[in-house]
A and B are shown apart, each in its own frame.
Chain A
Amino acid sequence: MAVSISVSQRPVGRSIARYFVLIVMAGLILFPIYITIVNSLMEPTALANGPVWWPSHPTLSNYATAWTNAHVGRYLWNTVIVAVGITALQVSTAILGGYAFAFLNFPLKRLMFVMYLATLMIPGEVTIIQNVQTVHDLGWYNSYAALIVPFIATGFGAFLLRQSFLAVPADLQDAAALDGYGHWRFLRRVVVPICRPGIAAMALFAFLGAWNQYLWPLLVTSDDRYRTVQIGLKQLRTENLSSVTVVFAGTVLAFLPIALLLLAFSKQLVRGLTAGAVKG
């Protein structure tokens, strides 16, 4: 009896301490986001003496200003087009590449694979000078093509899907062959459905990367009609220096869609981000 009391009492004190630590850490992490949201709801004049900690008279007017006057609505729309375009095309090219490397034999296969992997070691900064020039030469400056086309192939994605495809049981391959499936049908009817989780993780990873791009859109767009939301934030800041509340509202608008998306697909996110980190 005495034992059971001491066992049940200690964990209570301990779990209070644990919750305390957890809450402090959560508070530290959320603090910048909290302050941003609260102050995005304030009248600009209310912040004369620094940021407020609680929205006493909340208003959505900053959001209206950011959305229309500061073009954040347009920036978001552009970002959606670019990110969806890049994701869809990257998934397609990665499925094709992953399939070729996993199931087909062809001359120079090893060399091709090394080339795919080599693209991972070349940082964008090394290719950016010529790529901006190429965009100008093609007449793509200020266009969706400039924002999408250079990113439709992915060495990382193809590598990831190859790994995932290699795990398809050989029995299924034999069965498909017996049923007279060609490669194309085997890919569509067997491989893609089985590897859907891996493909979803790769797609989310691609989307996140495309959504967050900064340097490239900065260099190939100067027009609000094509500017993405990340560089739109820079534009917003220079235009609205006097009303920081509008900047806060714009930041929330840039943050919120991706936060909701990640919340909805958190399992795929973890899979996509940790690919390669944990073995076995």
Chain B
Amino acid sequence: MRESALAYAMLAPSLLIFGAFVFFPFVKNFSFPFYQQSTASGFGTFGKAAPPKWVGWQQWHEVFTSRTFWHSAWVTVQFVVLTVPLGIAFGLLLAVLAHQRLRGITIFRTIFSSTVASSAAVASTIFFSLIGTESGLWKLRIHGHALLDDKTWALPAIALVSVWQSLGLSFIVMSSGLQAIPDDLLEAARVDGASSVRRFRRVTLPLLSPTIFFAFVVGSISAFKTFAEIDLLSPIGKETGGTSLLAYQVKRLAFESESRNGQAAIFAVGLFAIVLLLTLIQMRLERRVHYGR
């Protein structure tokens, strides 16, 4: 009895915060789509606007039949496909390079992991200052306008910035995966006469697959939620739709111009569904990896 009281006393502060700032707003998010804000409300007018009106499934229907939603979802998927595999491949390449026994290799390890110190906002500000729309020092132009405003090339350009920013993390994760591979396995393969390419493909890569898989899921979840890069790098595309990822749409619909909380909440539900799906896949496959050992 005393033990339970102690346990709940220890959990109480967290449970309070989770209740107020995770579970309550999470449940509330599923009720927003059924209401429509009747008057214009934006920043700072919360609670002062007229009470919202019950509109049933109308907004769900509107959003799921709208071009905006499916376009945003499609752009988001493109962004994830552009960033995640590339980030993992580069991270792996750097990790393999830095895994050699060479004098001064620690310096290279430090440099390769250096971009973890750069937030998405720092990376975006650097690249916007270099190639940005008006202030960019290099006037990178394509089809007559700035690279970051081009319909086709803005997204890949932003994806590259994002890959650069996540490179440090990807390198660190891949390196620790490599270091966990027992040297005697590679040594045995070498003694058996396996070439270095063969050793990499037949020994390193299979043993690294749980790490790669982890990086893939975690990287995808964070790529699906990308916001800062879009907000800072794409002043035009984010409004016209070319680069308006789901997370940006949530923010734009909920907090800009007239309030469209209901629609924003539906976009957020879409994001949640994706994150949930990825997490479930991870949990399932992780179990399989465990049994495999």
Q: Is A165 an interface residue (CB 8 A)?
A: no
* B24 proximity list for chain A (CB < 8 A): 130
Q: Once the chains bind, are A234 and B232 in contact (CB under 8 Å)? A: yes
Q: Which of B25, B210, B228 contacts A127 (CB 8 A)?
A: B25
Q: Once the chains bind, are B22 and A127 in contact (CB under 8 Å)? A: yes
Interface string of B9-35 (1 = CB under 8 A from A): 011011111101111111011001000
A251 CB → nearest B CB, Å: 5
A211 CB → nearest B CB, Å: 7
A224 to B7, CA, bound (A): 41
Question: Given known contacts A32-B164, A230-B119, is B32 in contact with A129 (CB within 8 Å)?
Answer: yes
Q: Is A29 an interface residue (CB 8 A)?
A: yes
Question: Given known contacts A106-B4, A241-B134, A274-B176, is B119 in contact with A212 (CB within 8 Å)?
Answer: yes
A94 to B13, CA, bound (A): 10
Q: Is B86 an interface residue (CB 8 A)?
A: no
Question: Given known contacts A18-B100, A134-B25, is B129 in contact with A244 (CB within 8 Å)?
Answer: yes
Q: How many residues of A contact B (CB 8 A)?
A: 93
Interface string of B120-138 (1 = CB under 8 A from A): 1111011111100011011
Best-buried of B7, B135, B215, B225 by chain A (most CB within 10 Å): B7
Q: Is B291 an interface residue (CB 8 A)?
A: no
Q: Find residues 165-223 in chain A having any chain B CB closer than 8 Å to their own CB.
A: 183, 208, 211-212, 214-215, 218-219, 222
Q: Is A60 an interface residue (CB 8 A)?
A: no
Interface string of A13-31 (1 = CB under 8 A from B): 0010011011001100110
Question: Given known contacts A96-B14, A152-B13, is B250 in contact with A29 (CB within 8 Å)?
Answer: no
Q: Is B193 an interface residue (CB 8 A)?
A: no
Q: Once the chains bind, are A126 and B29 in contact (CB under 8 Å)? A: yes
Interface of B (DSSP majority class): helix
Q: Which residue of B lies closest to A237 (CB)?
A: B125
* A273 proximity list for chain B (CB < 8 A): 116, 169, 172-173
Q: Once the chains bind, are A129 and B8 in contact (CB under 8 Å)? A: no
A38 CB → nearest B CB, Å: 11
Q: Which residue of A lies closest to B103 (CB)?
A: A15
Q: Once the chains bind, are A129 and B127 in contact (CB under 8 Å)? A: no
Q: Once the chains bind, are A280 and B180 in contact (CB under 8 Å)? A: yes
Q: Once the chains bind, are B176 and A30 in contact (CB under 8 Å)? A: no
Q: Once the chains bind, are A269 and B172 in contact (CB under 8 Å)? A: yes
Stretch at the interface among B55-63, B66-74, B141-149, B269-277: B269-277
Q: Is B223 an interface residue (CB 8 A)?
A: no
Q: Once the chains bind, are B126 and A251 in contact (CB under 8 Å)? A: yes
* A269 proximity list for chain B (CB < 8 A): 113, 116, 172
Q: Find residues 124-167 in chain A having any chain B CB closer than 8 Å to their own CB.
A: 124-134, 136-137, 141, 149-150, 152-155, 158
* B64 proximity list for chain A (CB < 8 A): none
Q: Find residues 89-120 in chain A having any chain B CB closer than 8 Å to their own CB.
A: 93, 96-97, 99-100, 104-107, 109, 112, 115-116, 119-120
A250 to B126, CA, bound (A): 10
A262 to B279, CA, bound (A): 29
B268 CB → nearest A CB, Å: 5
Q: Once the chains bind, are A128 and B268 in contact (CB under 8 Å)? A: yes
Question: Given known contacts A96-B10, A131-B25, A262-B116, is B173 in contact with A126 (CB within 8 Å)?
Answer: no
Q: Is A254 an interface residue (CB 8 A)?
A: yes
* B129 proximity list for chain A (CB < 8 A): 36, 237, 244, 247-248, 251
A219 to B5, CA, bound (A): 38
Q: Once the chains bind, are A50 and B116 in contact (CB under 8 Å)? A: no
A154 CB → nearest B CB, Å: 8
Q: Is A54 an interface residue (CB 8 A)?
A: no
* B29 proximity list for chain A (CB < 8 A): 126-127, 129-130
Stretch at the interface among B39-47, B151-159, B183-191: B39-47
Q: Is B197 an interface residue (CB 8 A)?
A: no
Q: Once the chains bind, are A137 and B46 in contact (CB under 8 Å)? A: yes
A134 to B119, CA, bound (A): 27
* B250 proximity list for chain A (CB < 8 A): 125, 128-129
Q: Is B118 an interface residue (CB 8 A)?
A: yes
Q: Once the chains bind, are A123 and B272 in contact (CB under 8 Å)? A: yes
Q: Is A88 an interface residue (CB 8 A)?
A: no
Q: Which of A234, A248, A262 contacts B117 (CB 8 A)?
A: A262
9 closest Cβ pairs, A-B complex: A130-B25, A153-B17, A127-B25, A153-B14, A212-B119, A106-B7, A259-B117, A106-B4, A96-B10
Q: Which residues of B contact A (CB under 8 A)?
A: 3-4, 6-8, 10-11, 13-18, 20-26, 28-29, 32, 43-44, 46-47, 93-94, 97-98, 100, 102, 105, 108, 110-123, 125-130, 134-135, 137-139, 164, 167, 169, 172-173, 175-177, 180, 210-211, 214-215, 221, 225, 227-228, 231-232, 246-247, 250-251, 254-255, 261, 264-265, 268-269, 271-272, 275-276, 279, 289-290
